[in-house]
Structure 1
């Protein structure tokens, strides 16, 4: 840190573990009055995570100076000899994550249901702003392969599934063939998060809701930003005022706007048309089912991963049902 000219030289350094798993570990680093966050692969992570962590750094560095809520880029170290793995430092965000209290919102959103709608509109606005980032000017021209992005999706992920699956997934063939036969109405390449949902954002404390940062960029690439939208709303209830349909996994959706309302907000902020949403919903459900199937196949006795089993079958069946019922012709 001293060699990089970062503030706090001469102050004692303390580290506090925040979170971590098989992919990354995160620590709060404090030197005097200066705070930042260190993110790096754990010792047992696969070697490709080293490239992944440096890839993440490129994205958050490119976001500096944009309207996208993000953690600031503080510094990066590619030398594994320093801490055992490459790492980067990002700005500390004084905020909260929906994952801090799964299943319930913090105050004032727990007691004031009317304040919750802004959480959703801010969520949609985050990726809408991300879709407008000039990724070429940010030096991300080689981050992904936007040319042929949609043409590669089916072959890439069916090939991946063929290597890992040992059970049949009802609806797979229907959804796969539908995706082969359809595509978006238009494709404007842009920066995308890749796993956009409430779990991967932070909000400022208090109301009204304000997005503080989009986090966890492992899946970030240059591709089709509208897939982020499809991913975000693939399980969003059409009508959140129905008590039977107000739960969306780990968040309480009561008081939230409908799916159509958040999609419309995305369209206004991003300037992109959303008439082809059904295509992205089928693609998101189908792709997420395959991604989660990997976790299920290696679950062993891990109860969390075993729980992916019925989620996968439900997602794939939902993708096939939507494919068969939609009148989308793109």
Structure 2
């Protein structure tokens, strides 16, 4: 985080924390943290306690502050559940303290497996396999939460949730035509076929629940001392919808987020990770949800993510994003659609 001092007024934050009854004393050892999103993280100590502050990005989007307010509401609702998550310590939905809405959470003692893979976890195929099962268990726990009982009524619009998916993301794709330099949707294999298949095979009903919205290996932290989830992070896309969306997202993205290092025996760590069928079966044993249409959710995840990534390519073609990044994400879009076509053929 460059020039974070201009993004977090420590004097104003210190005053606010004292007003919230969070002890006295100066903020010490501020340290910007790398995160999986554009939202910003700052770790610091105060009055003998560690905190992590989360705030919107430097360049605010129209909904950036509302996203922070939704995250703090969600984390507060999860406080007494068994969902692994960062514990909310204090929330400031107002924008007049440091200029944006923000919240403070407890630091997580964990690691991101896509960035840092401890030797202890990679030494055993059983350890790696268990990490994959724990990843599945995170969303079974989340999907089991009664969102109304924890105070999340009105947090999302479950009515017509599945019916909105394909039109919503098709409209996103069509919006890229504003970039005249973009070659168009013809460069995405089977884009019409996949969309039509999704419309024809859409499940008739679902049981509403909390969804994370971007659930994959890069958005969780693992415990250092055991192959279990320490926390699910990056909640900016959370809403109320069909929790099987998260399982579909996991099925669609897992190969792209696996650590492919070689352990001491010369075996690929990814080979020990549960495959898609193993993840589905593990979810089935821990959830009462109907998985008879789970293929649909995996295809939808490929469709949605692929169309989102194509947006960066369209912007790159127009000179509004690095072309190297745009081409890399365009190739991933192609991979996702080829994966979807393989599932529906």
Determine helix, strand or coil for the equivalent of 2:339. helix
**Structure 2 counterpart SS, 1:120:** helix
CA drift at 1:216:
0.2
Please report how far the alpha carbon of residue 12 of structure 1 lies from its aligned counterpart in structure 2 after TM superposition.
Answer: 4.2
- How far residue 125 of structure 1 moved from its aligned partner, in angstroms, is 0.1
The answer for unaligned runs of 5 or more in structure 1 is: 237-246, 326-330
Q: Distance in 1 between matches of 2:106 and 2:324?
A: 34
Aligned partners of 2:91 and 2:104 also within 8 Å: yes
* 1:45 lines up with 2:60 in the alignment: yes
- Uncovered stretches (5+) of structure 2, i.e. residues with no partner: 1-16, 261-269
The reply to whether residue 177 of structure 1 matches residue 196 of structure 2 is yes
Given the superposition, is the C-alpha separation of residues 297 and 21 from structure 1 closer, same or farther in structure 2, using an over 3 Å criterion?
farther
User: Which structure: greater helix fraction?
Assistant: 2
Counterpart in the other structure of 1:193: 212
**Alignment RMSD:** 1.8
Deviation at 1:152, TM superposition (A): 0.7
In 2, the alpha carbon distance for the partners of 1:249 and 1:12 equals 36
Q: Tell me if the contact between 1:50 and 1:85 (Cα under 8 Å) persists in the aligned partners.
A: yes
SS of 2:305's equivalent in the other structure is: helix
- Residue 43 of structure 2 aligns to a residue in which SS? strand
Q: Does 1:205 align with 2:217?
A: no
Distance 2:149 2:46 in 1: 33
Distance of 2:27 and 2:336 partners within structure 1: 50
What is the correspondence of 1:84-99 to structure 2 with a 5 Å cutoff? 84-99=99-114
TM-score normalised by L of structure 1 = 0.88
Residues 145 and 223 of structure 1 are in contact (CA less than 8 Å); yes or no, is this contact kept in structure 2? yes
TM-score, normalising length: structure 2: 0.85
Provide the residue aligned with 2:20 in structure 1.
Answer: 4
The counterpart of 2:157, out of the listed 123, 139, 145, is 145
1: distance between equivalents of 2:118 and 2:218?
A: 14
Looking at structure 1, the residues matched to 30 and 203 of structure 2 have their Cα atoms a distance apart, in angstroms, of: 47
- Matched residue SS, 1:315: helix
**Maintained 8 Å contact 1:107/1:206:** no
Where does residue 115 of structure 1 map in the other structure?
Answer: 127
Distance 2:252 2:25 in 1: 50
Aligned length: 309
Q: Give the structure 1 partner of residue 328 of structure 2.
A: 307
Aligned partner of residue 149 in structure 2, secondary structure: coil
Q: Which residue of 1 aligns with 2:13?
A: none
2:259 aligned to which of 251, 258, 271: 251
For residues 99 and 24 of structure 1, the distance between their equivalents in structure 2, rounded to whole angstroms, comes to 19
Partner in structure 2 of residue 244 of structure 1 = none
* Whole-Å separation in 2 of the counterparts to 1:295 and 1:315: 15
From 295, 298, 323, the equivalent of 1:278 is: 295
Corresponding position of 1:318: 339
Does 2:96 align with 1:81? yes
Deviation per residue, 1:275-300 (Å, 9 max, x gap): 21111111111111011111222233
Secondary structure (helix, strand or coil) at the match of 2:284 reads helix
Distance in 1, matches of 2:163 and 2:205, equals: 13
Query: In structure 1, how many angstroms separate the alpha carbons of the residues matched to 2:137 and 2:36?
Result: 29
1:231 aligns with 2:249: yes
